[in-house]
Structure 1
Amino acid sequence: MTQDTTQTFAARDGTRLVVHLMGEGAPVILLHGVFSNAYTNWIKFGHAAKLAKAGFQVLMPDLRAHGDSEAPHDPSCYHADVLMTDLEDMIGQFGLTESNGEYDLAGFSLGARTALRAVVGGIAPRRLAIIGMGLEGLSDWNRRAEFFFDAIDRFDNVRMGDRAFMAVSFMKTMKIDRVAARLLLGTMTDIAPAALEAVTMPTLVMCGDKDDDNGSPDALVRALPDARRATIPGTHMSSVAEGALGDALVRFLAT
């Protein structure tokens, strides 16, 4: 089965979250990037279909305040590390605990940061793929967040040539709820390099050859106990559209 289906579940605070599913077999969770959604990151360019064809059941949540998931405006719905606890709730909802068998986990950009934060927090996937992320992107979130806050705050006044133009254009295309997005961006916490010692499972660090948005992927490989590097064509934004991304995920997860 390669058709995309959806299921909905409630996070621990009652927020309704949507998960897209494709394929049958060993489960793999894919977490999308900021201002994106499961369809754009994983389905549109064929990555999920390649994993499904290789024998995986692909589970792709729309993160809180993204895609078809709810985007509440209540600040109480945005506690520190809320995306990590949403992932924990999803793992429980779908029965993906160690006692029920193994699962794999991959994330792009914000999804990569969420995946690493959750592993440091105690979840234990069989294999982990970190895409579009470098070491500095984990430990200097405030600098990165300020860029997004600025883009949100100046949303209606950003013009071509402005450093925020691409981010604002993407938010417009994806119909992002800026109130919810701003609240969500404030929930991220830094991951100290020393904390990465807890990431003991085999890990793939994948980045576009022109992607340095989140720092050095090579430095991230060196900081992880069992990591390897994969390079695909593209910038941070364009690498998601490359077929090489799905091919590299299949090669890594199917071994």
Structure 2
Amino acid sequence: MSSITTDQVGSFDGTAMAVHRVAGVAADARPVLMLHGLFSSAEVNWIKYGHAALLAQNGFAPIMPDWRVHGASEAPRDPAAYPVDVLVRDTLHLVEQLNLEDFDLVGFSLGARTATSAVIAGLKPRRLILSGMGIEGLTNWKKRSAFFVDMIDRFDTIERGDPAFMAKSFMKSTGIDREAARLLLTRGVGDIDVAQLQRIAMPTLLLIGEDDRDNGSPWSLAEALPDARVEEVPGNHMSSVVQKDLGQAILRFLSA
């Protein structure tokens, strides 16, 4: 397994964000910023199942932040720490702080949603991968987040068989602070104007588990983007990230 280094980077408001890298990559390796999903972490989405190592072995330098509230980053409980589109602001600040100019961008689920908003806001990666995302996942945040807010509010009473049991179990396994997560869900994420998707002009891969429609149709999203195609890998929204196929698909697209 590749060795991982971790630095703490202060975001726009001083919140400490953990940024993970694969140790020992060549100085001329191509940066690829990788954004993980909700209640997950860089470790779970990119490191544990070998995706980051595969990229590092093939000329890329994965840069993998943990969102605020997630992983080894801070989880403030002050509502002021969650302005609308806070994760987009975290992303833009991180790119500036790390002096990233010529880089690729990969996001899974909430990370894909955030990557979309960041590009609309002006970020210009060479290539973009949105994984675990369909067009409905960009436009119905209140409905999608309501499921998770309800899960947090009922956390201690949810039992096996409840539709929220899997989400509760995953959240428990990753040690997410429930109070901070509720603030992020209810305050920190904004909707995306579909008309603005035309601003995403770079080649884009919509990478989706063959049984994953949690965030709607990736094909409808591809139709709304200027230069996008869909590729399926095995698995559903939870299991696709554990498949080697995911990392291999990322590598193929970024290497083309």
Residue type of the alignment partner of 1:9 = V
Match of 2:142 in 1: 142
Residue type of the alignment partner of 2:104 = D
Match of 1:254 in 2: 255
Q: Are positions 1:38 and 2:39 aligned together?
A: no
Q: Are positions 1:241 and 2:233 aligned together?
A: no
Residue type of the alignment partner of 2:166 = M
Q: Percent identity?
A: 54
Q: Deviations over 1:105-133 (max 9, x none)?
A: 00000000000000011111110000000
Counterpart Cα distance in 2 of 1:80 and 1:188: 5
Residue type of the alignment partner of 2:165 = F
Counterpart Cα distance in 2 of 1:47 and 1:2: 11
Runs of 4+ in structure 1 displaced over 6 angstroms?
Answer: none
Counterpart Cα distance in 2 of 1:93 and 1:195: 26
Match of 2:157 in 1: 157
Q: Are positions 1:64 and 2:68 aligned together?
A: yes
Task: Classify the secondary structure of the residue corresponding to 2:32.
Answer: strand
Shift of 1:2: 4.0
Shift of 1:3: 2.0
Match of 2:81 in 1: 77
Map 1:165-180 to 2 at 5 A: 165-180=165-180
Match of 2:197 in 1: 196
Shift of 1:137: 0.5
Q: Which runs of 5+ in 1 are unaligned?
A: none
Match of 1:86 in 2: 90
Judge conservation of contact 1:2–1:53 (CA < 8 Å) in 2. Answer: no
Task: Classify the secondary structure of the residue corresponding to 1:156.
Answer: helix
Task: Classify the secondary structure of the residue corresponding to 1:69.
Answer: coil
Task: Classify the secondary structure of the residue corresponding to 1:54.
Answer: coil
Residue type of the alignment partner of 1:93 = Q
Q: Which runs of 5+ in 2 are unaligned?
A: none
Counterpart Cα distance in 2 of 1:204 and 1:47: 16
Q: Are positions 1:228 and 2:229 aligned together?
A: yes
TM-score between the two structures when normalised by the length of structure 2: 0.96
Judge conservation of contact 1:32–1:62 (CA < 8 Å) in 2. Answer: yes
TM-score between the two structures when normalised by the length of structure 1: 0.97
Match of 2:15 in 1: 15
